[in-house]
Structure 1
Amino acid sequence: MTQSEIWRLSATDLTALTHKGDLSAENAAQAAINRMEQVNPDLNAVVENLSDEALRRARALDQARAKGETPGPLHGVPVTIKVNVDQKGHATTNGVVALKDVIAPEDAPVVSNLQNAGAIVIGRTNTPEFSFRADTDNPLYGRTYNPWGRHISPGGSSGGAGAAVMAGIGALAHGNDIGGSLRFPAAANGAVTVKPGLGRVPAWNPSQKTERGLLAQSMSVQGLITRSAADLHLSMPSLIAGDPRDPFHVPMPWRNEVLDGPIKVAFTKNTFGYALHPEVEKALDTARDALIDAGYLVEEMEPPDVFECGRIGYRTLMGEVLTLMKSDIEAAGSQTIQDIFDVYFQEFPPIVETEMIRMLAKRSHYAREWSLFLQDYPLVLSPFLPRPFFKPDRDTEGAEGVHEVLGCAVYAYAMNFLGLPAACVPARLAELPSGPQPINVQIAARRWREDLAVDAAAAIEARVGQMYIPLWERMGTGN
């Protein structure tokens, strides 16, 4: 098998070969590194190349296997890590110039879990300043570009991760999500992801000096962006392994009980007054039909309080940001990010003081209403965004830009406030005047049932096809 054939492999196909001994970890890593060196100069998705370190680790894995050690479930899989998470010996910059020398003393749990499973980190990926944009650009590393073309933002804040994995730079890409930061890049690049629920994946940065705010802790989760739903089923069981450094981690298995009868799916096209673009509507119809073909029982049904829950949740988060982060943003952020935050505070008037305490309490009301609804409808199929993905720097264009980027994305941050899992999967490739772009939909699920959301994503993917195939045809696959 040639190097150009190896980097194309999914994590699932790659591990089938490494476990049988038909492919070495070193060859798997080298192929991904070659691909990274070929395409990353145009994308700027990976901002720290870890090739030497990766190859040393790959050789060590091969030597251990030769001595009879059992390979891990992700043996030899090349992965990338986002620069806002600690990796021992490397800077946790969070896209901020002032943090460029903050060297991690130890690995974060997600890094440990991936490496304990046999994965090989080949590079660290870009994020916007403070990981608080749905686009990816910063003064430290510069702009990340979408492999579909420069007419589309790569998304954020895990924009480097989404662009990297869809361009073939590693089979798995780590990212995180406080209001959509796994799902925005998946939607922008045509990738597949699942935002895990609260407590599902252990999280902590050993380099941090203070604990994060309560909402940051409860809304932010760690996850993976992949090219296929099958790769989520392969990799997420390793990612959710427990770590005592996260005292609120919930040790639940990846797969839970099989549900009786056809699974009921609540299907909605409601965009709360924001115009539903025809291409998004076509994607939703395709996703619905795919689930029906796969044996799901899909019914048009409105889930409770999405708009109110999402807006209240993000306004409360902005209250916490205003209280705990504003001074850091003013001290270390560029003028661009400061201006964006000024507009964030206009779009989402921060809820503070006594009203913040009330809204934190009301979060349980929203979660309870959803819990009851999901007893009858374990899955909810909805838009992710009401229109195709936006252009780069749209959020720098004042109130109108921020409104298009984040204001209408209530299905995104509502799931973070509720702490529920939500998958994001492409359901259509749209040919727009600006150029081609994928259209993703969202599938929310019961608490602890990320597996159900990924199963549904796989059913949609089976009908639509995997979006990396037409992307690589447009890019030219190279060698």
Structure 2
Amino acid sequence: MTQTDIWRLSATDLTARTRSGDLSAEDAVQSAIDRMHEVNPELNAVVEDLSAEALDRAQTLDRARAQGIPTGPLHGVPVTIKINVDQKGHATSNGVVALKDVIAPDDAPVVRNLQNAGAIVIGRTNTPEFSFRADTDNPLHGRTHNPWGRHISPGGSSGGAGAAVMAGIGALAHGNDIGGSLRFPAAANGAVTVKPGLGRVPAWNPSQQAERGLLAQSMSVQGLITRTAADLHLSMPSLIAADPRDPFHVPMPWRGEQADGPIKVAVTKETFGYDLHPEVDKALDMAREALADAGYQVEEVSPPDVFDCGRIGYRTLMGEVLTLMKGDIEAAGSQTIRDIFDVYFQEFPPVTGTELVQMLAKRSTYARDWSLFLEDYPLILSPFLPQPFFKPDRDTEGAEGVHEVLGCAVYSYAMNFMGLPAACVPAHLADLPQGPQPINVQIAARRWREDMAVDAALAIEARVGQMCLPLWDKMASAELSTLQK
């Protein structure tokens, strides 16, 4: 492999070479930086270039290794960090112009854990204003584009992360998820992720002036977006390392107890009145067959009511947003984001007052029902979205747009409301009129069993292949065509 191709390596392959000494951390980082400078001008996925300090850190790690100092499990892996999380000395803008000078006094736990493991941050990735859209655009840094083409949104709110990692800008991309912000970008770009369960990854921003609302604390999680499921098994054990600044973190090992016999998977195609697109149906069939062939016991069984759980959960979150965030959105948000929130409140009428307290209590009922169901079926395969991913700015098109973007995504935010883990993995490359487009499915899992969801994603990936490979071919062909013109 030439220097120019090192960026293609997965984090798993990369660390096998950097830790053995076959490849220097500096060369690994330089190749990722070169790729970033090549493709990011077209994508606008990375909005703060940290090349200089990344190379300095790589050289420091190389010297330490030469001196016999043990290497970390992510030694020399280039990563990106989302701009809504603190990285010491850099702005935590959250895509908001008024926050562009909020400089982090220290690293957030996820940044510290990645760097302690030997990862090297090469840039910070884009997010929509307040990290509260399933698309990625803001007045401070502009729009992020999907590497598959500008007819597909890059997803949000970790849209910069998803576009970056799939385009080859770093082997790992940090993101976070309060209602789908890891899984929307994974689905949009054909990446792999697992939304961790509540308490799994320590979280806190040293720059914050006040604690987040209780529901935001219990629904929002930190995670990673990758090109291959194996990289989640490599990297998540480092991400979940304990940090005392998160008093509710649960220090459990990544791997749980091995199942005794075949793992039962419940499959559902229920879309609650939304049309199930034939290509999504095909993706579910592909995933189901892959799991069955890998030895899972796959059965078509309806899980507990996910629609009511998801809608109540998001309406309850909107109640908290209305109470704690609306003033900031009105004061510092663009007209676009203010208009979108007005429609959010129509689509998800905020639960307030006494009913808010009651719905917070009812959350335990939903979680208990699912916990009991997951005793029999440790994994649940479902659509992530019922349709192929939507176009950019679809959520700016009034009630119909928000209904298509978020209204149908109950399998996404229901998992946040209950605090359950859920992986999102591509299961099919659809040949649509506008061009090829990845279709992802979701795999929800028992509490604390992110590893089981990732194992299932690995089985699906083994059948379907990594979506980055046809994407890179497509990007190379487009670049060649441009040069020939």
Into which bin does the TM-score normalised by the smaller protein fall?
over 0.9
Corresponding position of 1:116: 116
TM-score (norm 2): 0.98
1:266 partnered with 2:266: yes
How far apart are the structure 2 equivalents of 1:293 and 1:259?
Answer: 17
Corresponding position of 2:226: 226
1:167 partnered with 2:174: no
CA-CA distance at 1:5 after TM superposition: 1.7
Corresponding position of 2:22: 22
Local SS of the residue matching 1:476: helix
How far apart are the structure 2 equivalents of 1:6 and 1:76?
Answer: 12
TM-score (norm 1): 0.99
Deviation track 1:293-321 (CA, whole Å, cap 9, x = no partner) reads 00000000011010000000000000000
Deviation track 1:394-424 (CA, whole Å, cap 9, x = no partner) reads 0000000000000000000000001000000
- Pairing 1:397-416 to 2, within 5 Å after superposition: 397-416=397-416
Corresponding position of 2:430: 430
1:280 partnered with 2:280: yes
Corresponding position of 1:297: 297
Deviation track 1:173-232 (CA, whole Å, cap 9, x = no partner) reads 000000000000000000000000000000000000000000100000000000000000
- Pairing 1:53-202 to 2, within 5 Å after superposition: 53-202=53-202
CA contact (8 A) 1:151 1:435 kept: no
CA-CA distance at 1:434 after TM superposition: 1.7
Q: Over aligned residues, Cα RMSD in angstroms?
A: 0.9
Deviation track 1:56-98 (CA, whole Å, cap 9, x = no partner) reads 0000000111111000000000000000000000000000000
CA contact (8 A) 1:81 1:111 kept: yes
Deviation track 1:214-269 (CA, whole Å, cap 9, x = no partner) reads 01000000000000000000000000000000000000100010011100000000
Local SS of the residue matching 2:69: coil
Corresponding position of 1:461: 461
How far apart are the structure 2 equivalents of 1:430 and 1:117?
Answer: 37
Deviation track 1:332-390 (CA, whole Å, cap 9, x = no partner) reads 00000000000000000000010000000000000000000000000000000000000
How far apart are the structure 1 equivalents of 2:435 and 2:317?
Answer: 35
How far apart are the structure 2 equivalents of 1:72 and 1:248?
Answer: 26
How far apart are the structure 2 equivalents of 1:342 and 1:445?
Answer: 33
How far apart are the structure 1 equivalents of 2:433 and 2:395?
Answer: 21
Local SS of the residue matching 1:47: strand
Local SS of the residue matching 2:118: coil
CA-CA distance at 1:12 after TM superposition: 0.2
Corresponding position of 2:483: none
Letter in structure 2 aligned against 1:305: D
Letter in structure 1 aligned against 2:79: V
Corresponding position of 2:472: 472
CA-CA distance at 1:3 after TM superposition: 2.1
CA-CA distance at 1:115 after TM superposition: 0.1
Deviation track 1:104-160 (CA, whole Å, cap 9, x = no partner) reads 000000000000000000000000000000000000000000000001000000000
- State, as a whole percentage, how many aligned pairs show the same letter: 85
CA-CA distance at 1:433 after TM superposition: 1.0
Corresponding position of 2:335: 335
Letter in structure 2 aligned against 1:333: G
CA contact (8 A) 1:51 1:122 kept: yes
Local SS of the residue matching 2:8: coil
How far apart are the structure 2 equivalents of 1:305 and 1:222?
Answer: 26
Local SS of the residue matching 1:79: strand
Corresponding position of 1:39: 39
Corresponding position of 2:242: 242
Local SS of the residue matching 1:90: coil
Unaligned runs of 5+ in 2: 481-485
Letter in structure 2 aligned against 1:346: Q
How far apart are the structure 2 equivalents of 1:211 and 1:435?
Answer: 44
How far apart are the structure 1 equivalents of 2:301 and 2:250?
Answer: 30
Letter in structure 2 aligned against 1:315: R
How far apart are the structure 1 equivalents of 2:173 and 2:50?
Answer: 14
Letter in structure 2 aligned against 1:269: K
Local SS of the residue matching 1:175: strand
How far apart are the structure 2 equivalents of 1:404 and 1:141?
Answer: 26
Corresponding position of 1:257: 257
How far apart are the structure 1 equivalents of 2:128 and 2:324?
Answer: 19
